[in-house]
Structure 1
Amino acid sequence: MAEGPVAPGDGSAWVFGYGSLIYKVDFPYLDRRPASIEGWERRFWQGSHDHRGTPQAPGRVVTLIEAPGALCRGVAYRVDPAVFDHLDHREKNGYVRHRLAITLDGAAEPVPGLIYVATADNPAFLGSAPLAELAAHIAQARGPSGSNRDYLFELARALRALGSHDPHVHELALRVDAVLGATRRPAEHG
Structure 2
Amino acid sequence: EQRPASIRGWERRFWQGSHDHRGTPEAPGRVVTLVEKPNAVCKGMAFRVSPKVFEHLDVREKNGYLRLSITLTFDDGSHADGLVYIATEDNEAFLGHAPDADIARQIASASGPSGPNADYLLRLAESLRAMGADCPHTFAIESHLRDELS
The amino acid of 1:48's aligned partner reads S
**Equivalent residues in 2 for 1:87-166, closer than 5 Å:** 87-108=57-78, 110-166=79-135
The whole-number CA distance in structure 2 between the counterparts of 1:119 and 1:48 is 14
What's 1:27 paired with?
A: none
> Which has the larger share of strand?
2
User: Which secondary structure does the structure 1 equivalent of 2:51 belong to?
Assistant: coil
TM-score normalised by the chain length of structure 1: 0.77
TM-score normalised by the chain length of structure 2: 0.96
Q: Which sections of structure 2, spanning at least 5 residues, go unmatched? A: none
What's 1:179 paired with?
A: 148
Between the two structures, name the one with larger relative contact order (CA 8 Å, sep ≥ 6). Answer: 2
User: Which secondary structure does the structure 1 equivalent of 2:68 belong to?
Assistant: strand
Q: Does 1:68 align with 2:38?
A: yes
- Post-superposition offset of 1:79: 1.9
- Post-superposition offset of 1:134: 0.8
User: Which secondary structure does the structure 2 equivalent of 1:56 belong to?
Assistant: coil
User: Which secondary structure does the structure 2 equivalent of 1:152 belong to?
Assistant: helix
- Post-superposition offset of 1:40: 0.4
What's 1:85 paired with?
A: 55
The whole-number CA distance in structure 2 between the counterparts of 1:59 and 1:141 is 5
User: Which secondary structure does the structure 2 equivalent of 1:169 belong to?
Assistant: helix
Runs of 4+ in 1 over 4 A off after TM superposition: none
- Deviations for 1:14-42, whole angstroms, at most 9, x for unmatched residues? xxxxxxxxxxxxxxxxx211100000011
- Post-superposition offset of 1:113: 1.1
- Deviations for 1:23-79, whole angstroms, at most 9, x for unmatched residues? xxxxxxxx2111000000111000001110001110000001000000000011122
Q: Count matched residues.
A: 150
- Post-superposition offset of 1:81: 2.2
What's 2:12 paired with?
A: 42
User: Which secondary structure does the structure 2 equivalent of 1:79 belong to?
Assistant: coil
- Post-superposition offset of 1:107: 4.1
Q: Which sections of structure 1, spanning at least 5 residues, go unmatched? A: 1-30, 182-190
The whole-number CA distance in structure 1 between the counterparts of 2:112 and 2:53 is 24
